[in-house]
Amino acid sequence: MEISLAQIERDFFGSQPKVFCEIVESGGEVAGFAIWFLNYSTWQGKHGIYLEDLFVKPQFRGQGLGKALLQRLAQICTENGYGRFQWWVLDWNEPAIEFYKSFGAIAMDTWTVYRVSDQPLQELAKKKPPLK
């Protein structure tokens, strides 16, 4: 893991946060969280929520807390007129896939995720685009 406490403080609690977190408790103890941020759909002309991380501690799983976190994010979407709520899941994570499908989530199988990071990101950034 590369993240530092200073980065969390800046990004979640700074003067202009760009990342948000919903916490769920059980018996006065933090049991899980959902980390999210806004994205934008040019198809819809609306913002949406991208769920970066959903985590419930193992001893609290099966109590509906993960679903409660997702329901809260869905509420934030509807309260704010956001058009989408989306996330990625690893294709081998069958328990998570079945969990998401149980409340109507559908896989976007026609889309492929691409990523540039580390050295390829550095190399791409060095190229001078022909923009004026």
Does residue 100 have an active-site annotation? yes
What does R_g of the chain's alpha carbons equal in angstroms?
17
C-alpha distances in Å from residue 105, one per residue of 20, 70, 88, 111, 119: 22, 11, 11, 15, 35
Catalytic residue among 40, 50, 82, 100: 100
Residues composing the chain:
132
CB 66 within 8 A of CB 56: yes
Among all residues, which ones are annotated catalytic? 100
